[in-house]
Every structure is written in structure tokens, then in C-alpha cells.
């Protein structure tokens, strides 16, 4: 089955530590995205990537970093510089057609809690 | 900039009731419009979409019509079930490519609870 996997489902981190969230897709999608979701709020874009070895900052990139070494993988690192990292993190991907990108498909999410 | 405003929740209905969740948007250009659904503890799933004015998206008994004149994309269902309990997000994507990828702008979400 094609899809997007995120691991782990739950993650706990001590203050001051960096942590990396995994996102893998086997849909052969070109673009991948990271979103943050806080209670009662919509999703906010952290980073996105349209091609291997290239990525762009979204609306709330401060305190986060990403890499795109393979088409199917787009890990997100939450650094100690992120002041309020406790949130639900969602990864998504989309395929580029000849004229646009199709809808985004989402992974199941990782809930990060800073202790 | 582009924005999406959704009806505030939570919304609580009885089974078989009629559902409307309002969504209005502000955008330049000609955005595509989406409704996503999120079940507890899960990611988002695309429920339906419309890519141009007067298009009607539909899926699983849900419908929404792209109304350019009122900049709206309200979600409706004629008879809701307990299994429809979830958070619903309205979103738009700009028709212009966002440096090659598709940027989605989300509303804040509306939590729907259906009681048996």
C-alpha cells in the first residue's frame, strides 16, 4: 500500500535537546511538506521541498531544520532554539502534474511533548 | 494575504441531522478549495475539493460548492452519522505555484460531534 509514514507516533524530549521526526513516502511524490498543529488551530507550514536537495522555509521555520537527501524522505529536526516545540507535527506530500500540484496527502502525525 | 475563515466550533448534532459548516476565504487569483477531515489522533484526509468557480465537490455524502461571488465553500451533509465525528478543515491553495510547490492555507478547524 502506498502512503506516508511518520515515526514515532509519540515523542518526549527534555528541554534543550534536539529531536528528529521521520517522514517517509512511497507515493513517488515530488513535493513534501511539514506542518505544525496546535490545539484549536489550523495547520501552519514549517518547511517544504519540491525536489531532492532543495527546500524552502514556510511561515514558522525558526527553530526547525530539514533535509531532503532522498525523494521519499523528508526528516524534520526540532532544535533547542524552538521556544515552544510541544505540538502535533504532520508531514504531507503532493505530486506535480504537468500544470500544477495535486492535493496534499498527509501522514498520521507525531505528537511531540517537551518535558 | 490569503486566508480562510471557518465557522467556530464545537458543533454538536444528533444523528441524521443536517450539517452545514461555513467556510469563507480571501484570496488573490483563482484558488482551489479543499475540505479535509481529521479523526482523533490521526493525520488529515482529503474529503473533497473544487478547482474552479461553481464546481461542486462531493464525497461520502458531503458536498461543497465553490461560490466565487460570495467567496465561500460551505460543507454540507444531509444526514450525519456518529462516525462523522471529527475535526473538519477548510483550505485553499493559490493557483500560482509557490516556488514550485503548492502552499495550502488552512482554516482553524471545526470540531463536529454527532450524538446517537
Size of interface A-B (CB pairs under 8 A): 66
Distance CA B26, CA B31 (A): 10
- Mutation site, B7, B21, B38, B44, interface A, largest A CB count within 10 A: B44
- How sure is the predictor about B114, in pLDDT bands with cuts at 50, 70 and 90? very high
Contacts of A76 (CB under 8 A, 6+ apart): A20, A21, A23, A34, A46, A47, A64, A65, A66, A89, A91
List pLDDT tens digits, range B81-95: 999 999 999 999 865
Q: What is the pLDDT of residue A10?
A: 94
- Decide the pairing of beta strands B104-106 and B86-93: antiparallel
Q: What is the pLDDT of residue B103?
A: 80
- Which grid cell is A63? 527553530
Mean predicted confidence (pLDDT) in B98-108: 76
- Which grid cell is B113? 460531534
Q: Give the E-state strand segments of B1-116 in sequence order.
A: 3-6, 11-14, 19-21, 23-26, 32-38, 44-50, 56-59, 62-65, 75-77, 86-93, 104-106, 110-115
For B88, which residue in chain A has the nearest alpha carbon? A42
Q: What is the pLDDT of residue B29?
A: 78
- Decide the pairing of beta strands B32-38 and B23-26: unpaired
Closest CA to A41 of A108, A107, A104, A88: A88
| Contact yes or no for B10/B111 (Cβ under 8 A) | yes
The share of chain B scoring above pLDDT 90, in percent, equals 74
pLDDT for B101 beyond 70: no
List pLDDT tens digits, range B45-67: 999 999 889 999 999 999 999 99
Written as tens digits, the pLDDT of chain A (115 aa) is 679 999 999 999 998 899 999 999 999 998 999 999 998 788 999 999 988 999 999 999 999 999 999 999 999 999 988 889 999 999 999 887 665 666 889 999 999 999 8
Distance CA A71, CA A49 (A): 10
Distance CA A48, CA A36 (A): 12
Contact B44 A106 (CB under 8 A): yes
HEC assignment per residue over A7-35: ECCEEEECCCCCEEEEEEECCCCCEEEEE
- Which grid cell is A21? 521526526
Dihedral sign for Cα A110, A104, A76, A26, please. positive
Distance CA A84, CA A38 (A): 11
Nearest by CB to residue B42, choosing from A33, A105, A109, is A109
Cβ of residue A103 closer than 8 Å to a chain B Cβ: yes
Side-chain half-sphere exposure of B114, counting CA atoms within 13 A? 18
Amino acid at each position: 500500500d502506498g502512503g506516508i509514514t511518520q515515526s514515532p507516533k509519540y515523542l518526549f524530549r527534555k528541554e534543550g535537546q534536539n529531536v528528529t521526526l521521520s517522514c517517509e513516502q512511497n507515493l513517488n511524490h515530488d513535493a513534501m511538506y511539514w506542518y505544525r498543529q496546535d490545539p484549536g488551530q489550523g495547520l501552519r507550514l514549517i518547511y517544504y521541498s519540491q525536489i531532492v536537495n532543495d527546500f524552502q522555509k514556510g511561515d514558522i521555520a525558526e527553530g526547525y531544520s530539514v533535509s531532503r537527501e532522498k525523494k521519499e524522505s523528508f526528516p524534520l529536526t526540532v532544535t533547542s532554539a524552538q521556544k515552544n516545540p510541544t505540538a502535533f507535527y504532520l508531514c504531507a506530500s503532493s505530486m506535480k502534474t504537468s500544470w500544477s500540484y495535486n492535493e496534499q496527502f498527509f501522514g498520521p502525525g507525531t505528537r511531540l511533548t517537551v518535558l | 494575504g490569503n486566508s480562510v475563515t471557518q465557522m467556530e466550533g464545537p458543533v454538536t448534532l444528533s444523528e441524521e441531522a443536517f450539517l452545514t459548516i461555513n467556510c469563507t476565504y480571501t484570496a488573490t487569483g483563482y484558488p482551489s478549495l479543499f475540505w479535509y477531515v481529521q479523526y482523533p489522533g490521526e493525520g488529515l484526509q482529503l474529503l473533497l475539493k473544487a478547482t474552479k468557480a461553481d464546481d461542486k465537490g462531493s464525497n461520502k455524502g458531503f458536498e461543497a460548492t465553490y461560490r466565487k461571488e460570495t467567496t465561500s465553500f460551505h460543507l454540507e451533509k444531509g444526514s450525519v452519522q456518529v462516525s462523522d465525528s471529527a475535526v473538519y478543515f477548510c483550505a485553499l491553495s493559490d493557483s500560482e505555484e509557490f516556488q514550485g510547490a503548492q502552499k495550502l492555507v488552512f482554516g482553524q478547524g471545526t470540531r463536529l460531534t454527532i450524538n446517537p
